[in-house]
Structure 1
Amino acid sequence: MPAEQATNNPDNPPVPRRQRNNPHNTVTSPLPKPQKNTRANIRIGSLNIQGRGANSIYDPSNKWTKINQLVRDKKIAILAVQEAHLNQCMTEQLNDLFVNLSIFASPDPENMNARGVAFVINQRIAAVGKNIKIETIIPGRAMLLETKWHNDESLTILNVYAPTNMRESRTFWNNLWEMWTNTDSTLPFPDIILGDFNITEHPQDRCNGRWDNQETVDALQNLMKAFQMKDGWRDTFPNTQTFTMVHNGNHHQSRLDRIYIAEEQTNRAHEWTIDDVPIPTDHKLISVNIVIPNTPYIGKGRWAIPNFVLGNKKYLQNIEDLGKSLLNNLDRPIDANRLDNPNTQLLWKQFKTDIIDSAKTFAKKTASYLDRRLKEVDAEIRAVNADRALQLLDRNRSIATLTKEKKVILTKRFQTRREVAAARNLLEGETVCKYWTSLQKQKPPRDLIRTLKIPNGEAQGSRNYTKRSDEMAQIAKEHHDNLQDLDTNHNPNMREEAIQTALNAINTSLTDEESTQLGTALTDSNVLAALASAANGKSPGLDGIPYELWKTLNKRFQDHQKSVPKTSLQ
């Protein structure tokens, strides 16, 4: 049977339209080219929020007001939402309230307060602007998003919320199958299908090991076979049992929320995660990172002392003790051969190394109780899940109790961040300061260098190009260093003549007063003035030590001088 005449035959699924070469392969209304500042990789997630909560978006219990912080904290570019319960009016209100989000909703036509799917585009990361095409496939149940990002890369995502009734679910999957396999269809085949499927393909995805209705499972698998898609998380972790939904009533666990990805795109999907969220829902957030082909390796960057460590009195006291030890070593007589003690530069270098090592130690120790307890709860949940000696009911109850505690901790931490942000906005909002000016400032990602040619790589029989950012940085450094030595074999007399010619062209000279000032040795007050003028919030240098540390230490020294009686200082 020709591909154009394919019917709903599970044994002979149609060839995906992405591989066909006929007039209805392409989207009828092509999308514009992406903006230049789109990132080279984005995180895509899905979450069933089980309703919007309060009707008013200004009510603290409205769940949609928390979505903005969720996608920001988790660095999610595109979030698919199920049970959104959004109507057109509320969608417009949310888009007006959150200028960095673009929200598109497909409500249920029969009941606006039930079901419904939506897409949330985090423009801080995705940066696709208006370069989005949304199409409702089944109102309240299925929604298609098309966009182009980074170097004309296309991305098509299908957000689904399947019925819980097995017969209705089977009809739902068959309807989607027919919509795409119909020869008159112009729907593009999705790269990603994600959402709440309300069905599992394998008993491993249910805590009780139950098989779901086989006819409904077949309908789902036929659709995925036609799309040539696979369950990305299960493909990555074939022997791991993890669940995305814990039923509050009977504590039953299952992996109903999933992300399917086209087989040709699997090598672009990394960092599959399943996370609890501080939003009242039985479901967990699932997400994956999608990268473009040939994305270079980018490391974690240089470690720098975090600001919260600078407020640790024990850490600052430790730095002062290290400083006193440094002064004692500097006061020692210098050996002529420098065998017994290193020179001043090496002592100073070791002092800064000790500062960084101490900061790393204190940074780990000063983690909040909530963060430490979260790690403990996660470990306990994994241990209970792995303990097959427990009865199923006891295991489910234990996991439900631990999950509830984890949700409470996440909610507390989430709420604390919201309160801190609100307090800062109250104090610094609409005042001329760095915080206020950066609120609406666009922060586009930097242009990415994918590869760099290795000098003489071919001649040396090694790689011609590198994709590692550290190697590219070294190549660039060596290139610019070599430029400084280029054409340096000049005649000494010609060089001296050129220098004098350049100097003679300078008419301005120092006055006697300026010459005297430049010849004067620096004093402590000069150093303190330079330290005071150093700007806060700037990126530290290669040593990872910010200006704020030296300012804090100087303030502690001044406070100590004020507190000590003058007689003891004499």
Structure 2
Amino acid sequence: MARGRKWEGQPCPNAGFFRDGATRGMSATRVREDGAEGLGGGQPPSPDSQHNGEATAREGENVCADSRSPARASPRLGSQSRDHMSQHGEHNPGATAAPTPVSTPNAHTAPVTPDQQHPLQPPSSWPGTPADSPSQRSSSVNLGQPHRPYPSLPRTSPANARRTPLSSKRTLARLLVASENIRGRGNTTIVGSTKWKKLKASILRDKIGVMAIQETHLTASHIQEIEQFHKELHVINSAHPDNPSGAGGVALAFNKFLTNTNGIQSHELIPGRALLATFNWHKDDELTVLAIYAPNDVRESREMWATIANKIRRSGGRIPKPDVILGDMNFVEDSVDRFPMALHSIDAPDSFDDLKRLCNVTDGWRATYPSSVEYSWRDASRSSMSRIDRIYVTEPLLDSSRNWKIETSDLNRDDHSRVSVELVNLDMPEIGPGRWSMKESLLHCPDFLAAVEAAGQYALSRLATYSEEERTPENNPQVIYDEFKRSVMLSAKRHQREINCRRRKFIDGLEKEREAAKTEMRLNLTDDTRKAFKAAEKKVEDARTETPGTGQRGKRYPGHGLTGPARKRPATQCYLSKSPAQTVESIVTIHRVWRS
């Protein structure tokens, strides 16, 4: 009894284990009405872990009175789920709930009657429990029905939400999602395609986690080439059924450095048009993304959106509702998104509105910038432009999103722009910027190099006059070297701030000129206004791709075949394997010349 009196008036270490332990770590951003899926994650507790937890809590003669504390809801949990948690007595027992008496010292093997069974413990008919027979353990889950391990709880409870395996990879609480129409491979093979080299470099440089790609024109052999030569990417492709290498195609490219590519569940809703994938985002949160490449035909477009909505409805939870819908929609919802302003017959289809209501998604860029005008597609002459590339997100994700952008990439300057958004997990704690490091572009700044040379000369002069007999804690080579490094670091920070301010001010001025030219072109469409807008747009693109502090474009990664000086050999030769005999012969030849 001494053990039972030990925790009187103090919080018990096992408090909330029986009920709270089953849902702890299962934060969910959105619990849908069907209780099948949502942004969140976590693992339902295994039967073994529950029995072990009960045995641990029952080591003493008494169980803490607060061990049945209600589960703590995530701040991102839907209001509907919180209502269920407050209405159902089994989910919110309150302070009046009495602890379950312990009738046997062995909690592992003791049979549990239905009256004694805990509400969050899986029922005896759930496959995998110790009470199951071998036939029950081998039976499969009924397809077409939502996965509900705990039928006694509401469908919207986090315990009944679909879960993916926890990620062992160290991911981030923020995820950059982008979409772009690349207009084909650029070459018959991936190894000879500069477009895919630029695409991979852009994904790695901009730290894009997931990217939807349209007009991929990829076959199975091309996917094998990507796995061989672009190992940093994990690509899931949906090819056009009739002409996979020459028309259509949609894909999702995952950055292996930033996303967990193990256990991705993909569904090809419409071949070459709609591809859905669910993956583990961060910790126990999962995200469902739907990549779209819509057709240009009016009838095909309406049928495609209706087919996607019907497949999601009739799947019975096997096909989850997407949290993010992005891609080339090939239509606009408002006339302001077209230039010249007009609504065509393909625009604003009713079937797409039905899909939006089903998934509860919103055009994030328009919701963030309700009065702005921007275009994601334009022709070479700038006589026709539209915002047909869009990203739709759910309401919880819209509240936790930032940095909505429509930017021109180095893949397409006269066609589609890249649309992107950064999603943030608001449940994660804020982490600082990390350890400071000097930018490589400062090596091209003459003012900074002069400051480093002056600091180095001063340190050398102090070392020249230093003698070991005069060594003190304030005057020694280690202190002199530390002061030199600190001086260089402070000078680097100061010059980097100056460069960033000048560059930001310069780009802001160019963007104002571009906006003025765009407004003038919208009011008075002539050849002169179109040319003026195209020239202003090119200035902004060149300024954004210019390396800060150098005044040159394309010098950020010299020697990698993408930018910098021209290569003396074809770029494809860098992927050819070199036999050891050639390398040894080169070393022997150099050695002979040196000895002679």
Q: Please give the range of the TM-score, normalised by the shorter of the 2 chains.
A: 0.5 to 0.7
Structure 2 runs not aligned, ≥5 long: 1-29, 37-143, 149-160, 462-473, 548-552, 562-566, 578-596
Distance 2:489 2:171 in 1: 35
Q: Which of 40, 46, 49 in structure 1 is aligned with 2:179?
A: 46
- Tell me which amino acid in the other structure corresponds to 2:534: A
| Deviation of 1:169 (Å) | 1.2
Aligned partner of residue 19 in structure 1, secondary structure = coil
Distance 2:283 2:404 in 1: 24
CA contact (8 A) 1:166 1:216 kept: no
> Structure 2 matches for 1:204-219, cutoff 5 A?
204-213=336-345, 216-219=348-351
Change (3 A) 1:313 1:409: closer
| Deviation of 1:392 (Å) | 2.9
1:181 aligns to 2:313 (yes or no): yes
Cross-structure match for 1:70: 202
1:165 aligns to 2:288 (yes or no): no
CA contact (8 A) 2:186 2:193 kept: no
CA contact (8 A) 1:374 1:406 kept: yes
- Tell me which amino acid in the other structure corresponds to 2:33: Q
Aligned partner of residue 221 in structure 1, secondary structure = helix
Distance 2:317 2:448 in 1: 66
Cross-structure match for 1:471: none
| Deviation of 1:288 (Å) | 1.0
Cross-structure match for 1:267: 399
| Deviation of 1:402 (Å) | 3.8
Cross-structure match for 1:400: 534
Q: Which of 181, 191, 201 in structure 2 is aligned with 1:58?
A: 191
Change (3 A) 1:251 1:54: farther
Change (3 A) 1:362 1:56: same
CA contact (8 A) 1:118 1:143 kept: yes
1:292 aligns to 2:425 (yes or no): yes
Change (3 A) 1:310 1:277: closer
1:223 aligns to 2:355 (yes or no): yes
Distance 1:222 1:173 in 2: 8
> Structure 2-normalised TM-score?
0.58
Distance 2:490 2:304 in 1: 58
Distance 1:378 1:55 in 2: 38
Q: Which of 81, 86, 107 in structure 1 is aligned with 2:218?
A: 86
| Deviation of 1:18 (Å) | 2.6
Cross-structure match for 1:317: 450
- Tell me which amino acid in the other structure corresponds to 2:386: S
Aligned partner of residue 129 in structure 1, secondary structure = coil
| Deviation of 1:149 (Å) | 2.7
Distance 1:376 1:319 in 2: 32
- Tell me which amino acid in the other structure corresponds to 2:32: R
Cross-structure match for 1:121: 254
| Deviation of 1:80 (Å) | 0.5
Moved more, 248-257 or 87-96: 248-257
Query: Cα deviations across residues 258-293 of structure 1 (Å, max 9, x unaligned)?
Result: 000012322222211112111136111111111223
| Deviation of 1:356 (Å) | 5.2
Query: Cα deviations across residues 106-125 of structure 1 (Å, max 9, x unaligned)?
Result: 11011111010001110011
Aligned partner of residue 392 in structure 2, secondary structure = strand
Change (3 A) 1:249 1:178: farther
For these two proteins, the number of residue pairs brought into alignment is: 400
Cross-structure match for 1:97: 229
Distance 1:125 1:48 in 2: 22
Distance 2:182 2:267 in 1: 22
| Deviation of 1:396 (Å) | 3.8
Cross-structure match for 1:421: 560
1:148 aligns to 2:280 (yes or no): yes
CA contact (8 A) 1:17 1:25 kept: no
Distance 2:554 2:447 in 1: 28
Cross-structure match for 1:25: 146
Change (3 A) 1:36 1:54: closer
> Structure 2 matches for 1:231-246, cutoff 5 A?
231-246=363-378
1:107 aligns to 2:239 (yes or no): yes
Q: Could you say which structure has the greater relative contact order, defined with CA pairs below 8 angstroms and 6 or more residues apart?
A: 1
What fraction of aligned residue pairs are identical, expressed as a percent?
28
Query: Cα deviations across residues 37-68 of structure 1 (Å, max 9, x unaligned)?
Result: 1222211110100111111222254x223221
| Deviation of 1:247 (Å) | 1.6
Distance 1:324 1:89 in 2: 59
Aligned partner of residue 339 in structure 2, secondary structure = coil
Distance 1:327 1:53 in 2: 55
- Tell me which amino acid in the other structure corresponds to 2:264: I
Distance 2:324 2:146 in 1: 18
Change (3 A) 1:259 1:355: same
Provide the alpha-carbon RMSD of the alignment: 4.2
